[in-house]
Amino acid sequence: MRNERFGNDSRTGDAAESGLTRRGLLQAAGGGALAAMAASGLAARAQDAPASKPVERKGNIKQCICQGCLKKMPFEQMAETCVRLGVKGIDLVRPDNWEVLRKYGLVGTMTPSHNLGKGLNQKENHEACLDAIRKSIEATAAAGFPNVICFSGNRAPGLTDEEGLANCVVALKQVVGLAEEKKIMLCMELLNSKVNHKGYMCDHSAWGVELCKQVGSPNFKLLYDIYHMQVQEGDIIRTLTDNIQYIGHIHTAGNPGRHEIDDTQELYYPAIMRALVKAGYTGYVAHEYTPTRDPLQSLEQALATCDV
């Protein structure tokens, strides 16, 4: 995914992540005849599944997905599958698919905005980024959805992390009032710069938390991506619970590899989810892994694992 957030299908940014991950967002085109056949087969299997009552979740964790979890499944079929599996919504969906979300009673749980690499940490990017963020806030509020994403951007020669943070504060204070007025949560995503997003500035929880403190608004928080922060700094449960008031949205995936949430990886999600419940977290938890096996079975397992 990547590219201009609202005007493009991706969450933004770099092709370092495979397929529809990291906002390999929105139904990537192509893949040839074999990919098309595989996608149609997945959709047909989901469509042919016996009609049944939607899975009832405990509701302590409001689970949603990013589209990469179901690969190239047609969007409406994806929405139907979400309803059947007890999923609350879908992350990073462009406005042209919002009517489908409404049709199935799903939430657009995080709206795209601007480019990932060219973000708020450099003043020359402010005009374009803030214009994209304002448009996303207005559209998201009109749709009755809750969240808009934003990014720090990458480091630049001669730009210190302290200066980048100060530039982000200047930019965010110009738009957070609109977020407050429209009752939208604006979330900056924490991403690792070690493996997937070389040079990205908002790559440590402490930097992000300090940014939240300086912006000083209840409508600006962090999108805490558990996979990315495990790669970058670890200590997930302590960091989440110590800073829960600054966490507005969460992404999941296994590590290493950003694949399924299962016993092949080092993160133990039941404990993480229980810690979130205990800490009083009420935001969404969006699954954003790339499946290596049957996508439906992988998603069913992820949802069951996090349903604490």
CATH classification of the domain holding 267: 3.20.20.150
- Is there a domain that residue 17 lies in? no
- Is there a domain that residue 9 lies in? no
pLDDT digits (tens, 9 = 90+) for 11-42: 543 333 333 333 333 333 333 333 343 444 44
Give the alpha-carbon dihedral of 300, 305, 209, 171, to 10 degrees: 10
Alpha-carbon distance 15 to 248, whole Å? 26
Alpha-carbon distance 43 to 78, whole Å? 8
In the chain, the number of structural domains is: 1
Alpha-carbon distance 214 to 206, whole Å? 12
Alpha-carbon distance 121 to 161, whole Å? 9
- Is there a domain that residue 1 lies in? no
pLDDT digits (tens, 9 = 90+) for 93-126: 999 999 999 999 999 999 999 999 999 999 999 9
- Is there a domain that residue 15 lies in? no
DSSP state of 60: S
- What's the domain range around 143? 32-306
- Is there a domain that residue 193 lies in? yes
Which pTM was predicted? 0.84
6-10, 158-162, 174-178, 291-295: range with lowest mean pLDDT: 6-10
Q: What is the DSSP string of 17-40?
A: S-TT-TT--S-----HHHHHHHHH
The helix or strand, by DSSP H or E, that contains position 287, with its residue range, turns out to be strand 284-287
Best CA proximity match to 71, nearest among 124, 106, 21, 119 = 21
- Is there a domain that residue 16 lies in? no
- Is there a domain that residue 3 lies in? no
- Is there a domain that residue 22 lies in? no
Alpha-carbon distance 148 to 138, whole Å? 10
